[in-house]
Amino acid sequence: MGKREQIFTYRNYINGEWVVPDNASVADNINPANGEVLGQVVQSTTKDVHAAVKAAKEAQKNWRLVPAPERGELLYAIGQLLKERKEHLARTLTQEMGKVLTEARGEVQEAIDMAFYMAGEGRRLAGQTVPAEMPNKHAMSVRSPVGVVGIITPWNFPIAIATWKMFPALVAGNTVVWKPATDTPAMAYETVKILEEAGVPKGVVNLVYGSGAAVGDALVEHPDVNVISFTGSTEVGKHIAGKAGSLLKKVSLEMGGKNAIIVMDDADLNLAVDGIIWSAFGTSGQRCTACSRVIVHRHIRDELEERLLERTKQLTLGNGLDETVDVGPVITQFALQRIHEYVKIGILEGANPLCGGKIANDGELSKGYYYQPTIFTDVNPSMRIAQEEIFGPVLSIIPVESFDEAIQVNNNVAYGLSSAIFTQDVNRVFKAMRDLDSGLVYINAGTIGAEIHLPFGGIKQTGNGHRDSGLASLDVFTEWKSIYVDYSGKLQRAQIDNR
Ligand code: UN1
C-alpha cells in the first residue's frame, strides 16, 4: 500500500454514521511542528449541513424528553472516557495543533472538568418558583431547551472550547451540529468517537467540516438552527452576527483579546515575571486570553525588562511532544507570516525589539512553523502592535507613570477579555477589580487559565454579552419559560381583580 492510501480521512458524522460527502474535496491535516501530513479532512457542503440539521432536529424530539439527570449521567460516562484517554487525547492535540504536551494535558482536563460539572447540572437546571399575585395561583420559570444548536469552534482549544459549548447544550436538552476548525479534525474525531462510545443517541451530535464561509453560513442561516455559539476571530464573529441579526437568531460570540498585565512598583517581581512568561509565550501566544501587553510602572521598568529578557532567552522552541520544550510551533505557515508582519509593523512604528523578532528556522525547526518569542519595549499604547490582536508570541512593554494611567492604558483598546495586575496594595486590588474593563480579571496571576465553572468571555469587541462556561452558559442554550397555574377554578384577571 502506498503511503497516501494509508492516510486517514476525517469524515462527517451525521445521524450516527461516519460519512464522506459526495464528490468530497479534502484538505491535509498538517502537524505544525514538522510539516508531516497526519490525515485528510473532508470539506463538507451545504447539503451535509442540511442533512446534519435535519438529523439534529429529529433527534431533539426524543432527547428533550430524556430526564435531565439521565442526560447528565451520559455526560458523566463521557467524562470517564475522556479521563481514561487523557494521555492519548493530549498527544493527538499536540501533534495536530502544536501546543506543548503539558498544556495539551491541561486542555483535555478542561473537557473532563466540564463533563463532570455539567453532569451535575442534570440534577439542577434550576428555575425559580415565586409567589403569584393572585390567590390559588402558582408561578414559576423553567429553563427550556432552545432546540438545535450550531457550534463553530477554533483550532487553538479544539476540545476545551467545543466541550464548553457542547456539554451545557446537551444537558439542557438540545441537539448539536458542530463545525470544528479544519486545522484540528483529529480532535473533533476523537471527541465524537467518545460521545458515540458513551452512548449519545444518533442525531444528538453531528459533525461537519468546512473552511471558508459556505458551511458556516449554511449553519447560521438554517431556519432549524435555533442558536449559534461561536468562538474565533472578531472579523468572522461580526460576519456571523450580521447574518444572525437579520434572522433574529440568538448568537453567542467569543472573539479576540488584547490582554494586558499591569505590574505596579510594589509588585512581587518574581511572581510577575512568571505570570508574564506563562501568559505571553504559553501556547505560543495563541490564546484569546494571551498577554500581549505589559503595562509597567516606570520605577521598576528596567529591572522587569532585564528579568523578562533573561527568562525569554532560556525558552526552548521545538516539537511539543518533547517534554523539555517550552514553546511549540504556531498553527500554519500563514499564521507565521502574519506574526512576522506584525513584528515588522512594530519596528516601523518605532518600538524597540529587546529579543526575538524572527522566524525560527535552525535545523529541525525549519520543517515546522516556529516564531522566536519576541519582546518590544518603548511601546506607545496607540501603536498597532499595542492595539491589534497578534495571536503569536509577541509581547509589548508599555511604561506608565501611575496606577491610574495603567488602568487607563489597559482599558483603552477595542477588546475586553482578560486583564491582570501584580500589586501588594489592597486598595489597588479593589480598584482594579472594579475598574479593569474585561470579562476576566486576575490579581497577582497571569491573564490565562480560566476555570470552567466560572463564566468565560469578554466585553467590547470580544463578545456580544453572552458567556461560555459556568452556569452562565446555560443562558445561551436555554430559553426561559414562565408558567402560571391557576387552581382557583375561576377567571382571575391579573393587575385588575387584585387591585
Ligand atoms: C482561548 O484562548 O480561546 O483561560 C481559551 C484560558 C484557557 C482557555 C483559553 N482556560 O487561557
Per-residue pLDDT reduced to its tens digit, 218-270: 999 999 999 999 999 999 999 999 999 999 999 999 999 999 999 999 999 99
- Residue 489 in any domain: the answer is no
Question: CA-to-CA distance for 317 and 418, rounded, in angstroms?
Answer: 26
- Residue 387 in any domain: the answer is yes
pLDDT band at 6 (very low <50, low <70, confident <90, very high): confident
CA 423 / ligand 1 centre spacing (Å):
23
CA 283 / ligand 1 centre spacing (Å):
10
Q: Give me the active site residues, please.
A: 254
CA 97 / ligand 1 centre spacing (Å):
15
Lowest mean pLDDT, pick from 1-5, 281-285, 450-454: 1-5
Residue 105 and residue 250 share a domain: yes
pLDDT band at 5 (very low <50, low <70, confident <90, very high): low
Per-residue pLDDT reduced to its tens digit, 127-147: 999 999 999 999 999 999 999
* Cβ-proximal residues to 103 (8 Å cutoff; 6+ apart), any chain: 282, 283, 320
- Residue 104 in any domain: the answer is yes
pLDDT band at 211 (very low <50, low <70, confident <90, very high): confident
CATH number for the domain that contains residue 319: 3.40.309.10
CA atoms within 13 A on the CB side of 96: 28
Residue 19 and residue 131 share a domain: yes
pLDDT band at 7 (very low <50, low <70, confident <90, very high): confident
| Residue 1 pLDDT greater than 70, yes or no | no
Q: What is the best residue among 448, 451, 469 to mutate for testing ligand 1's pocket, by most ligand atoms within 8 Å of CB?
A: 448
Residue 270 and residue 205 share a domain: no
Answer yes or no: pTM beyond 0.90: yes
Work out how many domains the chain is built from and give that number.
Answer: 2
SS3 129: strand
In DSSP terms, 250 is beta-bridged to 227
Question: CA-to-CA distance for 178 and 115, rounded, in angstroms?
Answer: 17
Domain that holds residue 380: 259-443
Residue 473 and residue 390 share a domain: no
- Identify each DSSP E strand in 299-408 by its residue range: 352-355, 359-360, 370-371, 374-377, 394-400
Please state the separation of Cα 113 from the chain's center in Å: 15
CATH number for the domain that contains residue 93: 3.40.605.10
In DSSP terms, 143 is beta-bridged to 480
- Residue 348 in any domain: the answer is yes
- Residue 324 in any domain: the answer is yes
Which backbone phi and psi does 37 adopt, to 5 degrees? -85, 120
- Residue 494 in any domain: the answer is no
Residue 249 and residue 215 share a domain: yes
Q: What is the mean pLDDT of residues 474-491?
A: 98
Residue 192 and residue 159 share a domain: yes
Work out the number of other CB atoms within 10 angstroms of the CB of residue 414: 13
289 lines ligand 1 (CB under 6 A): yes
Ligand 1 atom with minimal separation from the 231 CA: 3
Residue 290 and residue 404 share a domain: yes
Per-residue pLDDT reduced to its tens digit, 170-185: 999 999 999 999 999 9
- Residue 153 in any domain: the answer is yes
Residue 469 and residue 380 share a domain: no
pLDDT band at 2 (very low <50, low <70, confident <90, very high): very low
Share above pLDDT 90 across residues of the chain, in percent, rounded to a whole number: 96
Residue 200 and residue 286 share a domain: no
| Residue 4 pLDDT greater than 60, yes or no | no
The three grid cell numbers given for residue 344, joined into one nine-digit string = 515588522
Per-residue pLDDT reduced to its tens digit, 42-72: 999 999 999 999 999 999 999 999 999 999 9
Residue 245 and residue 265 share a domain: no
Q: Which of 154, 171, 156 lies closest to 115 in space, CA to CA?
A: 171
Question: CA-to-CA distance for 450 and 471, rounded, in angstroms?
Answer: 14
Ligand 1 atom with minimal separation from the 286 CA: 2
What does DSSP assign to residue 402?
S
283 lines ligand 1 (CB under 6 A): no
CA 25 / ligand 1 centre spacing (Å):
32
Residue 286 and residue 426 share a domain: yes
- Residue 490 in any domain: the answer is no
Per-residue pLDDT reduced to its tens digit, 381-406: 999 999 999 999 999 999 999 999 99
Ligand 1 atom with minimal separation from the 160 CA: 8
Give the pLDDT confidence score for residue 230 in this predicted structure: 98
ipTM above threshold 0.90? yes
Residue 345 and residue 248 share a domain: no
CA atoms within 13 A on the CB side of 362: 5
Please state the separation of Cα 441 from the chain's center in Å: 17
